[in-house]
Each structure stands twice: as structure tokens, then as C-alpha cells.
Amino acid sequence: MNVMIAEDDYHVAGIHEKFLQQLPDIHVVAKAQTANETIQLVNRYQPDLVLLDVYLPDQLGVDVVEQLYEVAPHVQIILITAATEKDIFTEALHLGVIDYLIKPIAFERLKEAIEKAQAQSKQLKQSPRITQALADSFFLRVKDNSDKESELPKGIDRLTLEKVRHLLSKQQDGITAEALGKEFGASRTTSRRYLEYLISIDEAKAELEYGIVGRPERKYWKL
């Protein structure tokens, strides 16, 4: 993802940039210090994501969101602010920003926001159609933590699922259930259960691959 930082404090912008440089597949393409400069640079570089501070010297960041969508229709925006006013937050919701971070930012929270933007961008690019599962992954994000385990079907453990997600994301050429199971110490049956669950929620795909000898193998890729 190409990311742009809009922040009037040069020191803070530098901290954000150093953090982003540690994340895989993230490239900082530009930094802006004013709202006007933000619009110009977004128009020029067409970034995938903008980290947009609310309090820019010439205009509120939240007031230029619509102009950013006009010059870069597919851009995602994470609003960063020291503001705790309800009206700014409400306006941000109405404008469709993908996340809202309040200073001082916990960098784990910023990482989570970046990863969410990456995942949504990738899902949209790779999904030929919008399924309910895909729509739910965008719109059903706010849930009570106590309900998280109950969301998973019987036989699917959350920690194991995250491990399978991570391992699958590293397989550029796809992988069989048996081979993946060996990587996290599980049987072929258990591995396949997790892989098929990821397919059911539109996070993975599978194809039959025909070898020179023997029956075809079902190989899995992460979407």
C-alpha cells in the first residue's frame, strides 16, 4: 500500500513515517503539513491510504475529506486527532473514514488500523463480487469482546485460526491441507477444517491442482 501522512507537526510526521516503514508492504509516498498541500499531493500521488490529522493550520482535516475523495475516489482515510468533540467524530463517521485514532496514539492501535485498511483494500481488489460475508467484514466491526469466541463455529479455536491465517499468508504458490497441518502441528483433517472455514468467510480460496501422478490435490491460498 502507498500511504501518505498529513500532519503539521514535522516531528510527529517523522515518528509516524518511521513506524510505517517497519510494516511489510507499506510505502510512504508523501508527507503534507497543510490541508491545501494534502489535496495537491493526494491528487498527484493517488495513495491507497492517508493518515489525516484533524487540526491542520489552514483548515480542519475533516473538512477536506470530501475533496480528497473527489481527486482520489479509491483512497482510504484514517483520521488522527487530539479532538474528543462528538461533532467531529460524528462528521468523520458520516464521511466514511475507515478509522478514527485519538492522540496520543498507541502504535499497536495504529498498526491494527493499517492492517485493517490493507485487508479491506486487498479484499475489494480480489473479490469478483460482493458476498454477505465480505460486506459483514466491512460493516460488522464493532463487537463486544466477550462475544468474540461465540462467533466461531464449533471446532475452530481463535488462536489456532490466527496461526493458520499467518501461515497461509506466506504461501505464494498455495499449499495443501496436509502440508499446512505439518507447519502448525495438526492433522490433515484439522488443517482442512480451518482452511475450509477461511474459505467460508471469503479469506481464502482453493483449487484442484493436477500432478504428474496420483489424484489431484486441493491447494489453498489466502485472499
Over the stretch 191-222, which tens digit does the pLDDT of each residue have? 999 999 998 888 899 988 776 556 678 899 98
- Tell which phi-psi region holds residue 119, choosing left (phi > 0), alpha (psi between -120 and 50) or beta: alpha
- Tell which phi-psi region holds residue 57, choosing left (phi > 0), alpha (psi between -120 and 50) or beta: alpha
Of 55-64, 111-120, 134-143, 210-219, the range with the highest mean pLDDT is 55-64
The set of cell numbers assigned to 210 is 493436477
DSSP string of 69-80? HHH-TT-EEEEE
Domains, in order of start, for the chain? 2-126 (3.40.50.2300), 147-222 (1.10.10.10)
